[in-house]
Amino acid sequence: MSGDGWPPRVVVEAIARRIAGEVVMSDSPARMLRKWREVFGASQLEVARRMGVTASVISDYEKGRRAPGSGFVKRFVEALLDIDAERGWPVVTRLAKLLHLQYLAAVIDMRELEAGITFDRLLTAVKGLLVNSVVTPEKIYGYTVIDSIKAIESLSGNEFVYIMGSTSQRALIFTGVTTGRSPLIAVRVAPIKPAVVVLHGPKSVDFLAIRLAEAERIPLVLSTADSVEELVEGLRALTP
What total of structural domains would you count in the chain?
A: 2
Q: Average pLDDT for consecutive 10-residue bins of the chain (240 residues)?
A: 62 90 94 96 97 96 94 96 95 85 76 90 95 91 87 63 68 92 85 91 92 94 95 88
Q: Which of 98, 121, 141 is the last residue of a domain?
A: 98
Domain containing residue 27: CATH number:
1.10.260
Same domain, 49 and 158: no
CB 147 within 8 A of CB 106: yes
Strand order in the sheet with 196-200: 107-117, 140-147, 171-175, 196-200, 220-223, 128-130
**What pLDDT, on a 0 to 100 scale, did the predictor assign at position 3?**
44
Do 190 and 134 share a domain, yes or no?
yes
Residue 1 lies in a domain: no
Instruction: Please indicate, yes or no, whether residues 120 and 90 belong to a single structural domain of this protein.
Output: no
The last residue of one of the domains, among 56, 79, 98, is 98
Domain range spanning residue 124? 106-236
Element housing 113 (H / E): strand 107-117
What is the pLDDT at residue 8?
Answer: 76
Same domain, 179 and 60: no
Q: In terms of domains, do 184 and 223 share one?
A: yes
- Is residue 4 in some structural domain? no
200 sits in the region (left: phi over 0; alpha: psi -120 to 50; else beta) called beta
pLDDT value of residue 97: 80
Report how far apart, in Å, the C-alpha atoms of 48 and of each of 28, 63, 73, 117, 220 are. Answer: 20, 15, 13, 38, 48
Cβ 145 vs Cβ 172: under 8 Å: no
Among the candidates 98, 127, 153, a domain finishes at 98
Residue 2 domain-assigned?
no
The pLDDT score that the predictor gives to residue 163 is 66
